[in-house]
Structure 1
Amino acid sequence: MRALQYVEIGKPPQVVEIDKPTPAPGEVLLKVTAAGACHSDEFIMSLPEDQYIYGLPLTLGHEGVGIVEELGEGATGVKVGDAVAVYGPWGCGACKKCQEGHEQYCPHAAELGIAPPGLGSPGSMAEYMIVKSPRHLVPIGDLDPVAAVALTDAGLTPYHAIKSVMPRLSGASWVVTIGAGGLGHMAIQLLKVMTGASVITLDVNEEKLAFAREMGADHTALSDENAPEEIRKITGGAMADVVLDFVGIQPTVETAGKCVHTESEIVIVGVGNGALPVGIFTLPYETVVRAPYWGYRQELAEVVDLARRGKITVETETFPLDEGFKAYERMHEGSLRGRAVVVP
C-alpha cells in the first residue's frame, strides 16, 4: 500500500510503498477515507535530530477516518463496514485517566511505548491503518469523511479548551481568539454555538480576518503590538474574560497577557514554544493560565454530533495522497483556508 512518510530528518515527507498491515488480537484495520494534516506534524518535522523522538520512518497523520476493514481476534464494539473516526490520544486503557476517557493524560503511555497515530505510531496518511483498540473509534454515520476527519483534532482540541472555560463565558462576556487557521476557525464556530459571548479574533492580515468574520467572529483586529489597545476599544475598556491562543508563539502569548482583566483566563492551545510568566506582578490578579492537550474521548463524540446536526462545519482543502506533501508546503507558507485533508 501507499503511505506518506517522514523518512529523513529535515527532508519533506514522501510517498512510499509499504506492506498492508494485519490487525493483531484486539486491533482494528481501517481502510482510510480521509486523513488530516496539522501544524503538529509540521512542528515535529521541524525538530532537530537531537530532539526528534517519534521514530523513522513515520507514517504521518493523527487525524483519521475510515471504514472498518478487518477485526483482530477478540476485537469487539465495531463491525466490518462501520464508518468511524479515530480518537488519537492513546493510553494504557487501564489507569484512572484512561478509565475516565482522558487518555491524552495517561501517565503510563510513554513508559509503555504507547504513542498516538502519526505521532509515534503509524498514522492515517496511508491506504490502511491499524487502530490499537476499538475504544479509540467513534461512529460518524453518513458524515462526509472529508468533513469529519478534522473534527478529531481541529474540532476536538478547541472544543475541549472552550468547555474548560465555560463558567467564564456568559452573554455579557468577551472572548478573544488568536489565529483563524485550522483550530481557530473551528473555535469561532464552537463559541457561537456553545456560548453567548462576543468573539474577537486576532490574526496577521485582512484576508484571515475576513475569514474569521465569515466563521462568525463579531469583531476582528490585527495581531500585532496594537492588538491590546484595539481590544480595549472594542470592549469599552473591559478587556477579555477569556483568551484562547491557537498559535502559542511568544508574541501571541504576550499579547494574550495584555488583553485580559482580573479573574480572567488564558488558554494556550497552539503548539508554539511561547511561555507566559505567572506571578504577583506579571498578570492581572487571579488570572489563570492553562495549556490543555487535545481532548477527551466523549468530547469527540459530542463534536461529531454537532457536525452531524449541521451546527459546525470544517473549511477544507483536499490533496490526493500522492501530493500529500503539498499540504505541508501550503501550511508552511500560510496559504491554507481552514484545514488540509489528504484523501488516499
Structure 2
Amino acid sequence: MEVPAPSPGPGEILVRVAGCGLCRSDLSMRQLPQAIGARLGWRMPFTLGHETAGWVAGVGAGVTGVREGDAVALVSPTSCGTCAHCLRGQDNCCPAGATGRGYGRDGGLADYVLVDSVRALLPLGDLDPRTAGPLTDAGATAYHAVRRALPRIVPGGTVAVVGAGGLGAFAVQFLRALTAARVVAVDTNPDRLAYATDFGAHDTQSAVDGLRSLDAVLDFVGTDETIAAGVAAVRAGGAFGLVGSAGGRLEKSWFGALPRDGEVYTFQGSTIADARDVVSLAAAGQVRVEVEQYPFEEVADAYAAVAAGTLKSRAVVLLS
C-alpha cells in the first residue's frame, strides 16, 4: 500500500527507516482475526515491523536530546513510562505493552515510522542502523533471559541454551561476555550448532538428554519435550528460563519435578534498560549482529524463509 509519510506532532519523532528485522510473531499477526486485534485495542490494518533502526528525520515541538540525522534504534516493546511497573524498571510488564509499533500500530516495514516519545530511542553511535534492528527484540529478549539467570550461575558452572537460532546465538554471546560458565548449545539442526560454536559455545549437542546439574537452562524452543528435559537438567538452586513460545507444558507434579530452591521463570519481551545494555555491548564489540539482508521488494521471500525456518540468523529488510 502507498500511504502518506507521517508528520511528527508535539513530543513525537519521525524516523527514516534504514532496516527492519522480521520476527516469527509477524507470521502470527498476519493471520490474526480482526476481532482478536480489536479486543487488544489494535488499529487494523497496520504496518508490521518491531525491530527497527534508522535516522531521525524530524522532531515535533518540545522534543529535546535528539536531532535530525542521529542514528537510532527503536525500543521494541511499548510502555507508558508512568505506571508502577515502569517506575520500577519493569516496563516489559506495562499494561500498555499490548499495543505498539508493529503490533497494533504502524511499525518499521515502511520508509518512515513515527515514535511517540524520546524514551523509545536508542542512540546507535557508530553502529550501522541497517542491521541494528534485531538488537532491540531478539537481542534484548535473549539478554533479559540471561540477566534473570545470572544470580544462579557460578564461575565454572554450566549453562545450556536450547535452540541455537537468532535468539539463542545472542544468548550464547551474552553468557560468554557476562559469565565464566561453560556454555552448551542444544539444537537438532547441525548448521545451527555450528553457528552457535562460531558465536562462542564451548560444546554442542542435539538434545538436552544427558545434561545434569546445570546452573541454568534457557529454553528458546518451548515444546513439552524441551521444557521437561530442561527442568530435569537444572541443579538444586539453579534456574530454568522459558522464552520459546511453542506452547509446551510441564505435565508433572511440582514436587520432585522442579529444581529444589531453584527458579523457574517465563516472560515476554524485555526492558528499555535491557535494550540499552545490548546496544552498549554491540558498540563495544562484545556482541555481533549477524543478519540475512533482503531488499524491500523481496519481503515476501524473507517472510517465507522465516516461516520455513531456513534462516540461521535474523532476517532484515533494507529500506534505505
Common fold by TM > 0.5: yes
Offset, 1:51: 4.5
Give 1:242's match in structure 2, choosing from 199, 206, 216: 216
- Specify the code of the residue in structure 2 equivalent to 1:250: D
Offset, 1:36: 0.7
- Specify the code of the residue in structure 1 equivalent to 2:50: H
Offset, 1:21: 1.0
1:44 aligns with 2:29: yes
- Specify the code of the residue in structure 2 equivalent to 1:34: G
Q: Is the 8 A contact 1:155 1:186 kept in 2?
A: yes
Q: Is the 8 A contact 1:228 1:258 kept in 2?
A: no
- Alignment length, in residue pairs? 315
Query: In the aligned structure 1, how far is the partner of 2:236 from the partner of 2:291?
Result: 38
Query: In the aligned structure 2, how far is the partner of 1:118 from the partner of 1:306?
Result: 25
For 1:86, the equivalent position in structure 2 comes to: 74
1:302 aligns with 2:240: no
1:258 aligns with 2:232: yes
Q: Is the 8 A contact 2:34 2:44 kept in 1?
A: no
For 2:119, the equivalent position in structure 1 comes to: 135
CA separation of 1:99/1:192 partners in 2, compared to 1, >3 Å: closer, same or farther?
Answer: same
CA separation of 1:106/1:337 partners in 2, compared to 1, >3 Å: closer, same or farther?
Answer: same
- Specify the code of the residue in structure 2 equivalent to 1:214: D
For 1:146, the equivalent position in structure 2 comes to: 130
1:17 aligns with 2:2: yes
Counterpart secondary structure, 1:201: strand
Counterpart secondary structure, 1:138: strand
Q: What are structure 1's unaligned runs of at least 5 residues?
A: 1-15, 232-237
For 1:122, the equivalent position in structure 2 comes to: 106
Query: In the aligned structure 2, how far is the partner of 1:342 from the partner of 1:249?
Result: 29
Offset, 1:323: 1.2
Offset, 1:55: 4.3
Deviation per CA, 1:261-308: give whole Å up to 9, x if none: 222211011222123356214323233210122222122121111111
Give the stretch that moved more between structures: 248-257 or 201-210: 248-257
TM-score normalized by structure 1?
A: 0.86
Q: How does 1:32-181 map to 2 (within 5 A)?
A: 32-47=17-32, 51-52=36-37, 53=40, 54-107=42-95, 109=96, 115-181=99-165
RMSD: 1.9
Counterpart secondary structure, 1:228: coil
Give the stretch that moved more between structures: 97-106 or 157-166: 97-106
Q: Is the 8 A contact 2:232 2:257 kept in 1?
A: no
CA separation of 1:193/1:29 partners in 2, compared to 1, >3 Å: closer, same or farther?
Answer: same
Deviation per CA, 1:106-152: give whole Å up to 9, x if none: 13x16xxx722111111111100011111100100121123321110
- Specify the code of the residue in structure 2 equivalent to 1:148: A
Offset, 1:44: 2.9
Give 2:250's match in structure 1, choosing from 269, 273, 276: 276
TM-score normalized by structure 2?
A: 0.92
Identical counterparts, % of pairs: 39
For 1:10, the equivalent position in structure 2 comes to: none
Query: In the aligned structure 2, how far is the partner of 1:281 from the partner of 1:50?
Result: 42
Query: In the aligned structure 2, how far is the partner of 1:202 from the partner of 1:258?
Result: 15
Deviation per CA, 1:142-185: give whole Å up to 9, x if none: 21123321110111111111111111112221101011111111
Counterpart secondary structure, 2:227: helix
Query: In the aligned structure 2, how far is the partner of 1:77 from the partner of 1:31?
Result: 17
Offset, 1:96: 2.5
For 1:186, the equivalent position in structure 2 comes to: 170
Counterpart secondary structure, 1:341: strand
Deviation per CA, 1:77-117: give whole Å up to 9, x if none: 2111111110122222212222344322113x16xxx7221
Q: What are structure 2's unaligned runs of at least 5 residues?
A: none
Query: In the aligned structure 2, how far is the partner of 1:239 from the partner of 1:284?
Result: 10
Give the stretch that moved more between structures: 121-130 or 88-97: 88-97
Q: Is the 8 A contact 1:40 1:271 kept in 2?
A: no
Q: Is the 8 A contact 2:213 2:236 kept in 1?
A: no
Q: Is the 8 A contact 2:55 2:129 kept in 1?
A: no
Query: In the aligned structure 2, how far is the partner of 1:101 from the partner of 1:82?
Result: 26
CA separation of 1:307/1:25 partners in 2, compared to 1, >3 Å: closer, same or farther?
Answer: same
